[in-house]
């Protein structure tokens, strides 16, 4: 599978890991379109910044003229859409950006891709794919004993973020059923791993622990998430892109349900072993319980049976092996962490926690 693809949001956490693996494996030319908002970071792509199979374009998926130009120039056989605002807390404080990027931006992207696809000859039309990367949060929240989300679970989004992603999923589906656009949709569980921006739980805990700051845990910390190592997720997307059935949805999960407090205590134990505190105490002493998030979903869990059964994909990493790799990566890449935790990110964290009466950064 050596092909030219356009990846949107390819400087963000999951997108950059996907782009890096695509280039490392020699799968073809990647045109990487990213708006470079606070979470898009060119440092994620340093390894391939001069690679002939990687072309970075600074731009917005809402810019249809730019999209049309890129599609005409590079003639991709696929578009993989990672571009999204993805942080629930940010969507609560400022939902408009999420509507603009996740809903309006996806619409503009679909329109540009539809126009390009309509102009292809029949063979190229049949070979083309539009793969939309989404989230398990569109399904809402599960009770403790409820079965995990399958692809036919009804949509019940509970935050402005998940509602905006649900809307984008519906648009993608509609463009297939109305126009025949050859689409694929993936809904993943919580990702973790290298290059994860430190506003999300795992990198935030590592960052704050090493800085001697409180480790903020919402509510009682018993919210449950399914954890998926990012390189496993990228492998699954490549699998869906290559052999997925047009118009289908594939749920991608790690089969690793953990309570948030369990994840944090695991991180503290690993840091205690790998980089002990100077005073000899455990990083767990820094755990601080804070007021719960508005509308906080209690449990997400992905049933990834379909992708295993139909496409033969299963995650390689267990939570134990994946979290070991993740902690080691952060300890070995503190310069990256320091660079991304300056500027816009710090301003947002200070504002967010000041409003909550907490001092976390």
Instruction: Say how far residue 23 (Cα) sits from the centre of its chain.
Output: 19
As a dihedral over the C-alpha atoms of residue 261, residue 266, residue 267, residue 271, rounded to 10 degrees, the angle is 140
Both ends of the chain: CA-CA distance in Å? 45
Of 257, 261, 267, 254, residue with least CA distance to 327: 267
Residue 150 tokens, joined = 């399958």
- Partner residues linked to 103 by β-bridges: none
DSSP SS3 for 290: strand
Tokens of 20: 């890096």
- For residues 237 and 133, the answer to whether their CB atoms sit within 8 Å is yes
How far is Cα 168 from Cα 280, in angstroms, rounded to an integer? 49
Give catalytic residue positions: 136-137, 161
- 26, 48, 54 from 45: Cα distances, Å: 16, 6, 10
Distance CA 288, CA 295 (A): 20
């Amino acid at each position: 599978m050596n092909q030219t693809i356009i990846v949107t949001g390819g400087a963000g956490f999951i997108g950059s890991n996907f782009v890096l693996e695509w280039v490392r494996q020699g799968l073809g030319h990647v045109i990487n379109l990213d708006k470079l908002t606070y979470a898009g970071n060119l440092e994620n792509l340093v390894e391939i910044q001069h690679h002939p199979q990687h072309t970075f374009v600074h731009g917005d998926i809402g810019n249809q003229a730019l999209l049309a130009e890129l599609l005409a120039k590079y003639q991709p056989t696929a578009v993989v859409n990672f571009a999204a605002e993805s942080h629930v807390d940010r969507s609560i404080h400022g939902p408009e950006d999420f509507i603009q990027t996740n809903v309006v931006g996806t619409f503009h992207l679909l329109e540009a891709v539809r126009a390009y696809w309509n102009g292809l000859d029949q063979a190229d039309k049949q070979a083309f794919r539009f793969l939309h990367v989404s989230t398990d949060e569109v399904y809402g929240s599960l009770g403790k004993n409820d079965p995990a989300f399958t692809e036919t679970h009804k949509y019940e989004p509970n935050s402005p973020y998940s509602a905006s992603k649900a809307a984008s999923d519906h648009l993608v589906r509609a463009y297939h059923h109305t126009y025949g656009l050859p689409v694929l949709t993936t809904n993943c569980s919580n990702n973790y791993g290298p290059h994860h921006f430190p506003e999300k739980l795992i990198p935030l805990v590592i960052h704050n622990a090493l800085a001697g700051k409180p480790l903020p845990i919402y509510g009682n910390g018993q919210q449950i998430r399914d954890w998926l190592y990012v390189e496993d997720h990228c492998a699954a997307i490549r699998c869906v892109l290559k052999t997925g059935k047009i118009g289908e949805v594939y749920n991608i999960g790690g089969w690793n349900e953990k309570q948030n407090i369990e994840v944090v205590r695991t991180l503290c134990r690993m840091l205690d072993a790998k980089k002990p505190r100077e005073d000899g105490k455990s990083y767990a002493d820094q755990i601080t319980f804070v007021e719960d998030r508005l509308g906080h979903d209690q449990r997400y869990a992905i049933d990834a049976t379909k992708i295993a059964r139909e496409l033969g994909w299963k995650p390689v990493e267990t939570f134990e092996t994946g979290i070991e790799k993740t902690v080691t990566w952060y300890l070995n890449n503190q310069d990256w962490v320091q660079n991304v935790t300056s500027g816009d990110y710090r301003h947002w964290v200070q504002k967010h926690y000041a409003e909550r009466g907490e001092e976390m950064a």
